[in-house]
Chain A
Amino acid sequence: MSDSSHARVDVKRVIADALEDARDNPLDPATLASVRQLLLTSAEARRCYLEFNQLNHLLTSHDMPSASIEWDRRPTDAAAASARVGSEHRRRFVARRKQIVAAAVLVATMVLAVYVVIVSRQDGQSLGTSPRVIASLEQFNGNVSVTTAGAETTSVSQVVGIRSGDTVRTRGAFSSAVIAFADGTRLSLVGSSSLTASDDGRKSIVFHGGTMFGSVVAQPPGRPMLVVTPQDKMHVLGTRFGLDATAMETELHVDEGRVRLTRLYDGKSVDVSAGRRVVSNATSDLVAEPIAKTPDAWSEDFENGLPDDWEIGKFVAARLPSGSQGAVRAERDVSTPNGTFAIATQAQWTRGLFAVHDDTHLHFTLAMQDPGWFNILILTRTDDGDPPTFAGNYIFDRPVWFGEPGQWGSVTIPLSLFRSLPPARDAFQNALPFQVLFSSPDKDRSLMIDRMWTARGGPGTVESKVLEETKDAE
C-alpha cells in the first residue's frame, strides 16, 4: 500500500480514533494490525501519530485549571453500555488477581494517598498559596523526580524543596535521594521507589513501594510519624528503620528505637524493637525476629532455579558441570542499545549482599561458548550510619578466563583489585555491596555461571583454572 493511496482526511481520522481508543484500552488485534500497517506504509500517518502524541504531551503537562462544569447526567444507551463494558473489564481484572483482600487494601491506601494530597492542597489553598515546603530533597543520584500535588513532574537536578503532597520517585538500581525535614528527620529512597509526604504538624508518609530507610528524630508527643504502605501502617516516634514494600508485602527492619506496625487487612499489630525485623503479608504471623547480620560469605548455586528477585539472567539446566542441577546464562540487557548481555543478582539494598573485608574474594564457576572479555561490577550503597544512598560502582574489567568454548572453569578475584567508579570511595570504605553484575558489552558470549560466592581468605591475586570434571569430559 503506497502513501498516495491513503486519503489525507481518512488517515488522520483513522490514526486519531485509534490513538484515542488506545488511551483507554488496548486495541483489538485486527485494528492494531491495520493501524500498524498504515503507520509503516504512510508518511502522513506517521506525521499524524507524532502530532497526536506531542499534542497529548503538551496538554497533559499544561496547566489547565478545571472549570468544574457539571453536565446534564443523562447517558445515552450506547454510552451506558460502553461504561458497563469498562466496569466489567475492571471487575474481571481484579478477579484475575486472586488477591481481593490485598487489592482492597491497595485501594484503601490509594484513597489515603489521595486524602494526603487533598489535605495538602487544601492547606495551601486556605492560605491562598502553594502548599508549604516541609523538607528538602538532597543527596540525589541517578533518576529522581518530584510530582507536585498539581500533577506536575520535574526531574531533580539540584536541591529542591518538598511541599506537602509532593511525591518523590527514584528509578533504577543507581538511583537514590534523601528527603531531609527541618527537625533533622531524614528519609532515604533507593532503587525504584516512591513516596508521598505531608506534614500538618504530624508527618505522614505514603510509601507506594520499593526500599526506604528512615532516621527519625523524636517526634512531638502524641504525634508520631505515620508511614503507610499498601499492606500496613506504622507509627514512628524516633528511630532508625528500613522498609521494603510491594503491593503484597511489607518488610520492616528496626535498627534503633521501636516501631509499631499494624496490618491494615486485619488490624493486627506488632511492636518491632531495635535489632529486629518483621514481614507482613496476607498470611504471615507478624512475629518480630532478630535481624541477621550482613554475612561475610554469600553464595548462589542455582540448584533450585533462579531466586525470585533475580534481576537479569536465564535459568539453564543443560551443558552443566558434573553434579550441577542448574546455572544462570547471560541475557540481553534491554537497557543497552548495542547488545550488552548480562547476569545481575538481586538488588539487596536493605541488608546488603555481603560484608567486605580486606581479604574478601569473589569466586565463580563459568563457561562461555565464545570466550572473551567481560566486566564485573559490584554496586554499593553507603553504610556509615546515616540512611543509605547509592555509593557507586566497583569494577573489574581485565580478562580473567581463557578456556575453550563451553569449557567450565573457576575464577577467583580479590575484591581489593576492583577499582571504584565515581562517586564511589576507595577500598569499599563505608560502602556495602548490594548487587553484582557480569556484562559483556560487545557481544553475546553465552556466558554461564554455575555458582558465584564470596568468602574471606584467598590467594590475594586473580586465579583461574579448568574444572577437573570438564577435563574428564573431554
Chain B
Amino acid sequence: MEHSSHDFSDLLTGQQQRLYRYIVSLLGNVDAAWDVLQETNRVLLEKRSEFRLGTNFANWALTVAQFQTMAWLRDQKRDRLVATPEMVELLADEAKEMDARETSKSSALTGCLETLSEQHRELVHRRYARSQPLAELSEQTGRSVNALKQLFFRLRQTLMDCIQRRMEAESP
C-alpha cells in the first residue's frame, strides 16, 4: 500500500523515543545514541519509498537502527565504548524483546524508587540523572569508590527485582 509523506512522518516521529531507547540499550552511551538516531532517521527518510503501510514499521525502523549502530561503531575508535559491531549483532533481537516491555517498566520504576531510603534515592539521582563520577561521589559521601560500586550494584539489583515483581503483579 502506498503512503503519503505525512503518514510516514507520523510513523517516524511516533517511534523516536523507542528508537532512541533501543540504540541506548545497544550502545550504552546516551550522547552517541543521539548521533546514531540522527543517522537512523536520515536513512529511514531516504528509504521511505521502500516501506509499505500495513507492514511492521517499528520492526523495520529498529532493524535500520541496529545497522546504523553497527556502522557507527565501525567508524569509531574502538577503545571508547564497550560495545562492538559483533556484539550488537548478538544483542539486537533480545534488545527488541526487552524494549517492548519498556513502557510498563517506566511506570513501575516510579513506585520502586519510593521504596529506597531518601539517602539511597539521592545517590541514584546524582549518579544516573546528574552523571556524577564515582570519584566525586566518593569525596562527597566519604565512602570509597569500591564501596560505592558495591552499593550501586545492590541498588540496581533491588530496583530491577522490584520492577520485575510489579510488572508481574500488573500483568493479566
Residues of A within 8 A of B (CB): 12-13, 16-24, 26-27, 29, 32, 35-36, 39-40, 46-47, 49-60, 62, 64-69, 71-76, 78-80, 82-83, 85-86, 142-143, 151, 155, 157, 171-172, 174-175, 334-338, 422-423
**Which residues of chain A are within 8 angstroms of B41 by Cβ–Cβ distance?**
142-143, 172
Instruction: Check if A83 sits within 8 Å of B39, measured CB to CB.
Output: no
| Binary contact readout B75-119 vs A (1 if CB under 8 angstroms, 0 otherwise) | 100011110101100110011001100100110011001000011
Q: List 12 A-B contacts (CB under 8 A).
A: A22-B81, A24-B134, A46-B90, A50-B98, A54-B99, A58-B109, A60-B30, A75-B139, A79-B142, A82-B134, A155-B20, A171-B35
A172: nearest residue on chain B (CB-CB)?
B38
Contact A83 to B139, CB < 8 A, known contacts A174-B45, A337-B67: yes
A173: nearest residue on chain B (CB-CB)?
B42
* Cα-based distance from A68 to B128 in the complex (angstroms): 15
B77: nearest residue on chain A (CB-CB)?
A26
Contact of A17 among B35, B129, B153 (CB under 8 A): B153
Contact of A73 among B94, B95, B98, B142 (CB under 8 A): B142
CB of B47, distance to nearest CB on chain A (Å) = 9
Instruction: Check if B142 sits within 8 Å of A72, measured CB to CB.
Output: yes
Q: Which of A16, A22, A46, A49 has the most CB of B within 10 A?
A: A49
Residues of B within 8 A of A (CB): 5, 9-10, 13-14, 16-17, 20-21, 24-28, 30, 34-35, 37-39, 41-43, 45-46, 64, 67-68, 70-72, 74-75, 79-82, 84, 86-87, 90-91, 94-95, 98-99, 102, 105-106, 109-110, 113, 118-119, 121-122, 124-126, 128-131, 133-136, 138-146, 149, 152-153, 156-157, 159-160
A-B contact count (CB 8 A): 209
* Cα-based distance from A291 to B146 in the complex (angstroms): 59
Instruction: Check if A58 sits within 8 Å of B135, measured CB to CB.
Output: no
CB of B56, distance to nearest CB on chain A (Å) = 18
Contact of A39 among B37, B42, B87 (CB under 8 A): B87
Instruction: Check if A143 sits within 8 Å of B125, measured CB to CB.
Output: no
Instruction: Check if A49 sits within 8 Å of B153, measured CB to CB.
Output: no
**Which residues of chain A are within 8 angstroms of B130 by Cβ–Cβ distance?**
66
Instruction: Check if B122 sits within 8 Å of A59, measured CB to CB.
Output: no
Instruction: Check if B105 sits within 8 Å of A73, measured CB to CB.
Output: no
Instruction: Check if A50 sits within 8 Å of B136, measured CB to CB.
Output: no
* Cα-based distance from A20 to B82 in the complex (angstroms): 11
CB of B88, distance to nearest CB on chain A (Å) = 10
Q: Which of B81, B106, B156 has the most CB of A within 10 A?
A: B156
Give me 9 other A-B pairs in contact (C-beta within 8 A), A56-B28, A86-B133, A335-B42 excluded.
A16-B156, A20-B153, A64-B121, A75-B139, A80-B139, A83-B138, A143-B41, A337-B68, A338-B67
Which 9 pairs across A and B sit closest by C-beta, in order of nearness? Answer: A337-B67, A79-B138, A157-B13, A59-B128, A155-B16, A335-B39, A171-B38, A82-B135, A67-B122
Instruction: Check if A62 sits within 8 Å of B109, measured CB to CB.
Output: yes
Instruction: Check if A53 sits within 8 Å of B25, measured CB to CB.
Output: yes
Instruction: Check if A67 sits within 8 Å of B142, measured CB to CB.
Output: no
**Which residues of chain B are within 8 angstroms of A423 by Cβ–Cβ distance?**
5
B159: nearest residue on chain A (CB-CB)?
A55
**Which residues of chain B are within 8 angstroms of A85 by Cβ–Cβ distance?**
135
Instruction: Check if A76 sits within 8 Å of B105, measured CB to CB.
Output: no
Instruction: Check if A55 sits within 8 Å of B156, measured CB to CB.
Output: yes
* Cα-based distance from A16 to B156 in the complex (angstroms): 9
Contact A75 to B64, CB < 8 A, known contacts A16-B153, A23-B131: no
**Which residues of chain B are within 8 angstroms of A76 by Cβ–Cβ distance?**
138, 142-144
